[in-house]
Each structure stands twice: as structure tokens, then as C-alpha cells.
């Protein structure tokens, strides 16, 4: 602890945002704290406060200052990223092994995009679908909140990816190996790749986030998923908004006991299970998922399940596969309003494959069972009109228990057809099924 003179304390009161990361004047520093979110109140009180130092010049690397603040306040502390300060990070941050800490982002954390080559060699490899990250956060009882911003400066990444499909782009906010925690009320902007991944984690809540990534030119913000859940359980995502260029939420392999509710998604590829079955040597499962009260605008999909066939497929130069085994079970989409989407409902076991007949010849080894689409209404666009949904399994034995209840999807013209193949039409709640297919959406 640092002893303060009257003049030092006065200076701190005037210049609080640039205070040292050491724990000082707790009775004063506690007044700088953002109030804890409701879901963090069960955690033990934080008995130290550390304000991370920032050069605040938009060019000098602040990674060492951040690591020092984290170290000083690990095991029961509260770390503040000061308002009106930008923390520039140009080197990777390993923030794992944390315990009982609050990370209070009041200012901005920015990952500059002026050295993409550096990040190719130095970002953390997440060992899944070419995903990397600027930093990884993990441990136990960690709560991230505040009214600040995490900025990925994604435009340069999207521009480069347009010419180099093997470019590894970092996830903006990576949680790996967290047991109990939350992320609340922060802004995420211009993610190079997925906005969030939560991997090998449990009991994590995301609430009140504002995600926004859109390109300012023709090089679109591809693969900017809102949330990707991977090998994790008991995850909640709620009360958030996202505008992006890919899935609003994606349940990746081995996601179980997930609640997604009260989201506003714009420009996305829907709420998606998968893709699954990409790797022949792996068994993927996703089960016990509840998605409810979702607004979906200007999107390619509403509710979607996407599975690779049992045949080699090439979605892109950096995304190939097929032949994996596994199970999707007990997934419920309940309460969705859709406007200007390509398809309202989608099940495909032909992901990554352009020729649907090839998928029927090589049925997926990943079964889909006990899926409910309930209380879904809205309007599709002209892309697949007059078809509003695509429920196609690769064989009669790979899908069972597909239910639709109170589904009212209408296209702007035509007869509101749903392509139904290898599914039991008697449980689809009167959907206007047809064998006619215009194909699935490859995005």
C-alpha cells in the first residue's frame, strides 16, 4: 500500500484516470468503481482497487501496464481501465489463472491493425477453425463490466482477408477456461473475426453488450460472429444487440445447457447450431439449448442448424471438412420475430457442399433429434421466394422429433412454402411443405 500526503491525494482527485496500478487510497479509489452487475453480487467483495496505467497516446503498447494491474489485483481485486483513456495493445495478453477479480472497463482498449503480420505469428491459437485471439481470459470468478469499449480495428483485417483467405484473424474477446463469471455492459467494435468465444468454460453470463462491426467498403465484415460457444456448459447470453456479418450466436461443438434470450440481431446469419461434423476424427454434440425472445432483421437466416455431410466438402480455402460424427438434441427456438430474412427456418446436413444430391448419397453421421421451432413469425425476402424455410435432412434416419408450433412465416410474394425432405411432416404444425428446393444458404 502507498501512503498518501494531502497534496498527493488532491492530485489523485484531479487526475484519477492516470493513477498508478498499485493499490492506493482505497477509500478514494472505490469511488471510481462501476457498480457491479446483479449477477456478480454473489462473489466475495473485492478488497483492492488497481487503476491500470495508460500512455494514452494511441501508439505505445500498454500491455505491460495492464498485466501489472492484473497481477497487483489478482485474487480479490478490482481493476479499472480509466475513462477518457485509450489502452493500446500491440502484443498478446495472457490473462489466465485469475481468481476473484472484477475488470472494470470505463475507457477504451484498442488493438491497432497496422501490423497484421505480427499477429499471424504471435496471436494465441485457439485450435479451432483457424481462430486466434489477441488475448485470452480465464480462471474463476471473473466479472468484466463497465461502459467502455473494446476496439478491434477490423477494417484492415477484412480488406486483407478479401485477398488472402488463409489470413488468421483474431477473435476480439476470448474467454478460455473460465469457471464462473460474466461480461456485461461493454461495447465491442469492429472485430477482425468472431466478437466473442467462450471455450472450455462453465457458468458464464453475457448481458447488456453492444456489438457492432460493419465494413465501410466492399470488403465485407466476414465471420464476425457475435458469440461462439465451444466445449462449454451453462452459458447465458442475454439482453444484447448486435450488427455484424455472420452468426448472431453460434453453438459450436460440445455446447450444452445454454440459454440465449432477449437479443436484437441485425445483418446476421441467424442463431445457428453449428457448424458441426467438420472433422472426421471428432465427435460433436450440442444439446439442451433454449433460444427465446429474439428479434432478427436483415439477415440470411432466422433459426438454423448446420451440419457437414459424410463427404469431403470445401466451403472456402480456409474451411473444409466433413465426415464427423455426433448429435444435436433438445434444441428449442421459442419466440422469434423475423423481418427481411432469406430463410426463417433451416436444417441442413449438407453444409460446405454445393451439390445437395451428393449429401443424399453420403448421409451425415451426425444425428439431429428433438428440435422445436415455436412461436416464430415474420417476413422473408425475395432471395428464396416463395420458399420461407429449408428443413432438409440427408436421410430419413438422421433426423427425428422435428416439431413446429405456431410458426407463421410469409414471403413478400408467393405461397409461403417450406422445403421438407427426410423429415416427418405430420409434426410440422401445418407448414406448407414441398419437395421443391432452392438450396440452402451457404453462408
Rounded to 5 degrees, φ, ψ at 392 are: -130, 115
Q: Is 141 tagged catalytic? A: no
Selecting among 85, 195, 269, 390, the annotated active-site residue is 269
Alpha-carbon dihedral 108, 51, 20, 91, rounded to 10 degrees? -50
Helix residue ranges, H only, 31-136: 63-73, 116-122
Q: Is 246 tagged catalytic? A: yes
Q: Are 267 and 298 in contact (CB under 8 A)?
A: yes
Using DSSP, state whether 211 is helix, strand or coil. strand
The rounded distance, in Å, linking the Cα atoms of 157 and 172 is 12
The rounded distance, in Å, linking the Cα atoms of 265 and 249 is 9
The rounded distance, in Å, linking the Cα atoms of 373 and 380 is 16
- Show the cell assigned to 10: 488532491
Rounded to 5 degrees, φ, ψ at 10 are: -60, -40
DSSP H or E run through 232: strand 232-243
Using DSSP, state whether 367 is helix, strand or coil. strand
Q: How far are the Cα atoms of 330, 348, 357, 360, 365 from residue 401, in angstroms, in the given order?
A: 9, 15, 23, 20, 17
In which region does residue 333 sit, left (phi positive, over 0), alpha (psi from -120 to 50) or beta (all else)? beta
Selecting among 246, 247, 310, 334, the annotated active-site residue is 246
**Residues designated catalytic:** 246, 269
Amino acid at each position: 500500500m502507498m501512503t498518501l500526503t494531502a497534496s498527493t491525494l488532491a492530485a489523485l482527485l484531479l487526475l484519477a484516470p492516470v493513477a498508478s496500478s498499485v493499490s492506493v487510497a482505497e477509500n478514494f479509489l472505490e469511488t471510481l468503481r462501476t457498480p457491479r452487475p446483479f449477477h456478480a453480487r454473489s462473489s466475495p467483495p473485492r478488497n483492492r482497487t488497481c487503476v491500470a496505467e495508460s500512455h494514452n497516446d494511441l501508439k505505445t503498447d500498454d500491455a505491460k501496464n495492464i498485466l501489472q494491474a492484473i497481477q497487483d489485483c489478482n485474487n480479490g481485486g478490482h481493476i479499472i481501465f480509466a475513462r477518457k483513456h485509450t489502452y493500446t495493445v500491440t502484443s498478446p495478453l495472457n490473462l489466465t489463472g485469475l481468481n476473484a477479480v472484477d475488470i472494470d472497463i470505463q475507457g477504451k482498449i484498442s488493438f491497432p491493425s497496422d501490423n497484421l503480420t505480427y499477429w499471424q505469428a504471435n496471436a494465441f491459437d485457439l485450435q479451432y477453425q483457424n481462430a486466434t485471439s489477441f488475448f485470452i481470459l480465464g480462471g474463476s470468478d471473473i466479472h468484466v463490466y463497465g461502459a467502455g469499449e473494446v476496439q478491434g480495428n477490423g477494417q484492415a483485417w477484412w480488406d486483407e482477408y478479401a485477398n488472402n483467405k488463409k489470413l488468421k484473424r483474431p477473435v476480439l474477446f476470448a474467454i478460455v477456461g473460465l469457471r464462473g463469471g460474466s461480461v456485461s455492459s461493454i461495447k465491442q467494435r469492429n472485430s477482425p473475426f468472431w466478437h466473442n468465444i467462450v471455450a472450455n468454460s462453465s457458468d458464464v453470463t453475457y448481458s447488456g453488450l453492444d456489438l457492432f462491426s460493419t465494413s465501410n467498403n466492399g470488403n465485407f465484415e466476414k465471420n464476425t460472429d457475435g458469440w461462439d460457444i465451444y466445449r462449454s456448459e451453462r452459458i447465458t447470453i442475454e439482453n444484447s444487440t448486435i450488427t455484424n456479418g455472420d452468426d448472431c450466436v453460434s453453438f459450436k461443438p460440445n455446447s450444452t445447457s445454454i440459454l440465449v434470450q432477449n437479443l436484437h440481431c441485425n445483418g446476421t446469419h441467424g442463431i445457428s447450431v453449428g457448424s458441426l461434423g467438420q472433422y472426421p476424427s471428432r465427435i460433436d454434440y450440442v444439446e439442451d439449448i433454449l433460444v427465446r425472445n429474439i428479434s432478427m432483421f436483415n439477415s440470411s437466416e432466422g433459426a438454423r442448424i448446420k451440419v457437414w455431410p459424410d463427404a469431403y466438402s470445401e466451403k472456402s480455402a480456409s474451411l473444409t471438412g466433413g465426415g464427423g460424427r455426433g448429435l444435436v438434441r433438445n434444441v428449442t427456438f421459442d419466440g422469434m420475430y423475423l423481418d427481411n430474412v432469406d430463410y426463417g427456418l433451416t436444417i441442413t446436413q449438407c453444409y460446405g457442399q454445393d451439390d445437395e444430391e451428393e449429401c443424399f448419397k453420403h448421409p451425415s453421421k451426425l444425428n439431429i433429434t428433438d428440435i422445436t421451432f415455436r412461436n416464430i413469425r415474420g417476413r422473408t425476402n425475395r432471395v428464396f421466394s416463395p420458399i420461407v424455410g429449408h428443413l432438409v435432412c440427408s436421410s430419413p434416419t438422421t433426423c427425428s422429433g422435428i416439431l413446429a408450433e405456431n410458426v407463421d412465416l410469409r414471403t413478400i410474394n408467393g405461397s409461403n412454402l417450406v422445403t421438407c425432405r427426410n423429415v416427418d411432416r405430420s409434426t410440422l404444425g401445418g407448414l406448407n411443405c414441398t419437395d421443391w428446393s432452392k438450396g440452402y444458404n451457404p453462408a
